[in-house]
Structure 1
Amino acid sequence: MFANREGQRVPQVTFRIRAANEWKSVTADEMFKGGTVVVFSLPGAFTPTCSSVHVPRYNELAPAFYANGVDKIVCVSVN
């Protein structure tokens, strides 16, 4: 595991994402190219605490992130 630091490149991996009710494969380069991205992770998608506390807080903070130069906010989970 590597230490987190600003500007660090994400390893080249392929993510499976859900977009417009369909599953799609997206590479790290495609997801993170061309901008500043905030990435946060959850221990499990759709768990009570994550769904009711963590994700809503990032939604609340989104305008501040965007106002400070963030282009995209990405949430990742193991499931």
Structure 2
Amino acid sequence: MAMAAAEIERRIKAALPDAQVDIRDLAGDGDHYAATVVSEAFRGKTRVQQHQLVYNALSGDMGGALHALALTTSAPA
């Protein structure tokens, strides 16, 4: 079962309320997405820590309902 882009965005914003989120469906199949996430919560964190915050927001659905998510994360400029 695929996960809708709107659901990915909803979950990320629930975990990171200030986040600016842009989701793109890479293959048109609802399974392969790219996301750009900008949040103050990322400031001072390594790229791995930033990505972990996003993956945690997806409640373990990576590899299941959500097959692939390419992430670009940053703190606001």
Q: Pick the structure with greater CA Rg.
A: 1
Q: TM-score scaled to structure 1, two decimals?
A: 0.33
Q: Structure 2-normalised TM-score?
A: 0.33
Higher RCO (CA 8 Å, separation ≥ 6 residues): 2
